[in-house]
Structure 1
């Protein structure tokens, strides 16, 4: 059994950064500043390790603020190695894509996007 990686990471980012809103879905009424995490894939490395590929979008009214938030998220994610989140051990964190300037195509709202793989220990159960 594996934990919900998005929920774990959102909770952690809410504590580890000064970003006011961390979500998994873009709010209908978009706040001026927020971060969205999306599980964009991953794989089961073995019977007790889930590798969650998470893409993080950092939205803000100003490009510099979106970039600053992306750097905060990047540092927080890279600091996770060897820690435990709500009883779930984080074995490793790998950067797949560094923060990239990627404004929202519909609204042109400033947005930075980054992707990391977070290796999380699950619970092994014999069949």
Structure 2
């Protein structure tokens, strides 16, 4: 399973605008999903670490989106082949290149 694709599909079905990359034409608010690490146990259990970045016009917008995504991600533990979802951290993570407001969630999952 490609966990990035799975999370993007899951969040889009819940009304978020989730992408693998920052879209060329940026919506007012959106999020990006990127696997940043994690290991594989016995070729069956995957333990991905995923960064989800929430983007908004203002810091408050990005922050509120991050907490909405957090609540949705916790519920992802009820999905098929997803055994555990833990929110590792949520933090302000402004994009210095574009000057955009951005927050980042680091999410640890266990999947089969």
TM-score, reference length from structure 2: 0.91
1:45 positional shift: 2.7
Structure 2 residues without counterparts, runs of 5 or longer:
none
The root-mean-square deviation of aligned C-alpha atoms, in Å, is 1.3
Q: 2:60 aligns with which of 64, 73, 85?
A: 64
Determine whether 1:112 maps to 2:67.
Answer: no
Per the alignment, in what secondary structure is the counterpart of residue 112 of structure 1? strand
Distance 1:103 1:91, change over 3 A: same
Distance 2:26 2:62 in 1: 14
Pairing 1:35-54 to 2, within 5 Å after superposition: 35-54=31-50
Determine whether 1:13 maps to 2:4.
Answer: no
In structure 1, what is the equivalent of residue 23 of structure 2?
A: 27
Determine whether 1:91 maps to 2:83.
Answer: yes
Structure 1 residues without counterparts, runs of 5 or longer:
122-127
Higher relative helix content:
2
Determine whether 1:102 maps to 2:101.
Answer: no
1:30 positional shift: 2.3
1:40 positional shift: 0.4
Distance 1:110 1:40 in 2: 21
Distance 1:14 1:101 in 2: 23
TM-score, reference length from structure 1: 0.81
- How many correspondences in the alignment? 112
